[in-house]
Structure 1
């Protein structure tokens, strides 16, 4: 009876942990989508909402940290369970960074002048769609412990990198030809860089999901961001 009670309590802890990660992921994905909408439309109230809601993501990360410490201290998990718990702790930290990148994009919403003249504003939303879908799918992989989906998400990062390279070349040429646009163009380059980082961090989550599901490691990536 005691063993059954402990097992039930442990299952509840794991369910709570997965729920917190799912909530963080949903908020991060929403932040990316709304930050880009605010940027394209110049919608400052929408941008303000993204910035304010980032505190919720930060609070959820702190809650994950506390829960993981409690689980390890009280349940002494081993093997597969321990891998999932440690992976969840790392994933929470990565999602917090993704939320920060979305917040940084939102902060640029009011700083773009002459939106209609910037071709990258037609490319950035497509780039953001891929990055947001990576976040969405890698969280699905986490929930299902789906190593194959995690690998597929990781491979998709090449599309985000290709978008970034194209936008970078486009913006540099545009700034050379139109020096008066340098400030706004620089903000758009900053946005593209943040989206590229979101893609990188999604692949980092994929690595953690793969590890939790299989105990193995995916091939190292030399371009992995430090934070």
Structure 2
């Protein structure tokens, strides 16, 4: 009976984390849409959702630490709880990155629009896909799906570097675009960081399922 209760608590912890993950994915979508469309009302929704994410983070941490202290889980259950604690932090930081995007959108309110050489919607969709796959990997306990997220991280990094280069060049050629370009540079970085957090989640799923730590691994050629 005690083990049944323990696994019910694990399931409740997972459900709470997944609800938080849904909010993190939603707030990212809202923030990018708010920036692209100049929607100030949507910016306010971003702030409201981020507050809910912060509250959920505290609840998940409390649940996880209570399970660690009372149940003293072993092996895969211990790895799951440790992974939940780390994933919880990354989801909260996705909320922070989304707030940063919304704040950039608000800073541009009232300025005339400028055509930028960067498709921020595409970057947001890529970051959103990484989050969805990372959460799918968590739901299904599927390290293969998590591997897909890791493979997408390099592409996200490349998109960010290309955006930075194009926007710096634009500012040099057209100084009047500086406000918009600087904000876009910051947003591109926020989206790239969101992809990093999705990658962290995928790495934690791999740790939970396989018991292997894939962080900071590189080939000999890369190290040189």
TM-score (norm 2): 0.93
Partner of 1:98: 94
Q: Give the Cα separation in 2 of the matches to 1:40 and 1:152.
A: 28
The alpha carbon displacement at 1:179 in A equals: 0.9
Query: Are residue 154 (structure 1) and residue 150 (structure 2) matched?
Result: yes
User: Structure 1: where are the runs of 5+ without partners?
Assistant: 223-227
- Match among 34, 44, 48 for residue 44 of structure 2: 48
Instruction: Pick one of 9, 12, 15 that aligns with 2:11.
Output: 15
Which residue is equivalent to 2:209?
213
What RMSD in Å do the two structures reach over aligned CA positions?
1.3
Q: 1:88 to 1:219 in 2, by over 3 A?
A: closer
Inter-CA distance 219–45: structure 2 relative to 1 (3 Å threshold): closer
Residues in 1 aligned to 2:133 and 2:171: alpha-carbon distance in whole angstroms: 36
Q: Which residue of 2 aligns with 1:166?
A: 162
SS at match of 1:107: helix
TM-score (norm. length: structure 1)? 0.91
- How far apart, in 2, do the equivalents of 1:157 and 1:216 lie? 19
Secondary structure of 2:214's counterpart equals coil
Unaligned runs of 5+ in 2: 219-224
Q: Is the 8 A contact 2:64 2:85 kept in 1?
A: yes
Contact 2:114 2:180 in 1 (8 A): no
Q: Tell me the CA shift for residue 12 of structure 1.
A: 1.3
Mean Cα deviation higher: 189-198 or 66-75: 66-75
Counterpart CA distance in 1 for 2:26 and 2:217 is 27
Matched, 1:117 2:115: yes
Per-residue deviation at 1:143? Answer: 1.4
Whole-angstrom distance in 1 between the partners of 2:77 and 2:201 = 17
> CA–CA distance in 2 between the matches of 1:221 and 1:159?
18
Shift of 1:119: 2.5
- Partner residue of 2:194 out of 182, 198, 205: 198
Aligned 8 A contact 1:40 1:115 in 2: no
Moved over 6 A (4+): none
Contact (CA 8 Å) 1:147, 1:213: kept in 2 or not? Answer: yes
Count, aligned residues = 216
Which of these residues, 63, 69, 80, is aligned with residue 67 of structure 1? 63
CA distance in 2, matches of 1:219, 1:96: 20
